[in-house]
């Protein structure tokens, strides 16, 4: 049963719709995701902490949710905005309706609004702070609340979603891997220490698929403690928020450069870029979706990629004698990947584990394995 709900933005614009999920009020930066499917993975991606997500695909919830498709132990989106939310879940894998899945975790949904108009507004104005509420009927009050929300720039959200204690992971080899997936090695052949800034389960599965035993460590783990694990390589994960406040983790990861192979993705690229002297900046409305074209400048091939970030690395801030840019976004020419010219280190701005998304970039895990073998 739906109920009246309002989405109010900091610039004064608001939308009235019908509510689902939790009868609650939630706030955050409003961003849009252009993926056609994979909504449960989006709900549970820790990189969405602090954000209300608008899904541009018009019909959401029709295949329900299941225990296998969650990318973490809980949803991390603050709220959800859709054109139409299905009250029917029809799929053999479904064990819970999507609105029930979010309602149990206190996350509100607003549906039956013009999401095309909302997305166009965000594209023109940039990402905006907003509030979803089924409790307050006066949109002017909600607009004022939206204006009091902390801006995303300057927020350290990664530390808040990181694991509190280190843990091991060795499961997740797919029973029927896609064609072209590297053959799995002997389980436990490699030991990878993975910094958790908001790591997703499918990243861990992909590392395990080539024989890695993974030790996931908190965001604040020192370089000395990581080296004490005697890893064959270090992985630096995706995560939410602004990379600039992560000065402590950046300083520790800087100490690892040259001492062990390093592979970073998403926020991990930004942290590694900062560790090598680069600077980051906030994008107008970010990259969120599983259909972003990226040119690999080393192979001259285009990859369709899964992305979720609101900040980018300034290429002019990098030392070209030390760093080689390897990937570029074909929509806006932003940096999508680089590698060190002298140390075993490379990273990409997107999510090569692709959950959800295409498998074009899974070769990067094989490249990481190659770095560890040569080291």
Catalytic positions are 266, 351, 353
Cα 198 to Cα 29: distance, rounded to the nearest angstrom? 18
Give phi and psi for 342, each to the nearest 5: -125, -20
Structure tokens at 328: 């570029």
Residue with tokens 């592979």: 263
Task: Residue count of the chain, please give it.
Answer: 375
Cα 162 to Cα 196: distance, rounded to the nearest angstrom? 5
Structure tokens at 184: 């799995």
Burial class (CB in 10 A: 0-12, 13-18, 19+), 91: exposed
Q: Name the pairing type of β-strands 84-85 and 59-60.
A: parallel
Cα 58 to Cα 84: distance, rounded to the nearest angstrom? 6
Cα 291 to Cα 27: distance, rounded to the nearest angstrom? 27
Question: Is-contact 270 243, C-beta < 8 A?
Answer: yes
Cα distances (angstroms) measured from residue 333 to each of 12, 319, 346, 361? 32, 18, 19, 18
Q: What is the 3-state secondary structure (H, E, C) of 37-87?
A: CCHHHHHCCHHHCCEEEEECCCEECCCCECHHHCCCCCCCCCEEECCEECC
Q: Name the pairing type of β-strands 79-81 and 51-55.
A: parallel
Helix (H) or strand (E) holding 23: none
User: Closest Cα partner for 201 from 76, 19, 99?
Assistant: 76
What is the three-class DSSP state of 321?
coil
Structure tokens at 98: 């999507």
Residue with tokens 């029927």: 176
Looking only at Cα atoms, what is the longest distance across the chain?
63
Cα 9 to Cα 30: distance, rounded to the nearest angstrom? 8
C-alpha 340 chain-centroid distance: 24
């Amino acid at each position: 049963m739906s109920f009246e709900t309002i989405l109010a933005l900091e610039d004064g614009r608001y939308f009235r719709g019908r509510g689902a999920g939790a009868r609650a009020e939630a706030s955050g930066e409003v961003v849009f995701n252009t993926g056609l499917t994979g909504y449960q993975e989006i709900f549970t991606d820790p990189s969405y902490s602090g954000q209300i997500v608008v899904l541009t695909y018009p019909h959401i919830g029709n295949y329900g949710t299941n225990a296998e498709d969650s990318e973490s132990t809980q949803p991390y989106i603050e709220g959800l905005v859709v054109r139409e939310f299905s009250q029917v879940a029809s799929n053999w894998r479904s064990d819970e309706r999507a609105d029930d899945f979010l309602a149990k975790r206190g996350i509100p949904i607003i549906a039956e609004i013009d999401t095309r108009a909302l997305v166009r507004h965000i594209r023109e104005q940039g990402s905006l702070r907003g509030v979803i509420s089924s409790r307050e009927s006066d949109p002017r009050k909600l607009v004022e609340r939206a204006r009091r929300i902390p801006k995303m720039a300057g927020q350290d959200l990664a530390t808040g979603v990181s694991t509190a204690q280190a843990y091991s992971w060795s499961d997740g080899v797919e029973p029927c891997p896609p064609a072209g997936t590297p053959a799995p090695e002997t389980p436990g052949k490699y030991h990878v220490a993975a910094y958790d800034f908001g790591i997703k389960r499918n990243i861990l599965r992909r590392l395990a698929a080539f024989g890695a035993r993974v030790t996931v460590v908190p965001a604040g783990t020192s370089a000395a403690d990581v080296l004490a694990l005697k890893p064959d390589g270090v992985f630096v994960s995706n995560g939410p928020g602004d990379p600039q406040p992560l000065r402590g983790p950046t300083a520790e990861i800087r100490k690892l450069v040259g001492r062990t192979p390093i592979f970073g993705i998403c926020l991990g690229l930004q942290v590694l870029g900062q560790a090598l002297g680069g600077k980051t900046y906030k994008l107008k409305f970010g990259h969120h979706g599983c259909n972003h074209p990226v040119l690999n400048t080393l192979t001259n091939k285009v990859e369709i990629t899964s992305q979720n970030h609101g900040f980018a690395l300034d290429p002019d801030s990098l030392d070209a004698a030390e760093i080689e840019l390897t990937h570029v976004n074909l929509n806006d020419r932003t940096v999508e990947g680089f590698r060190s010219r002298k140390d075993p280190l490379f990273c990409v701005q997107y999510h090569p584990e692709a959950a959800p998304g295409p498998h074009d970039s899974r070769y990067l895990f094989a490249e990481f394995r190659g770095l560890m073998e040569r080291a």
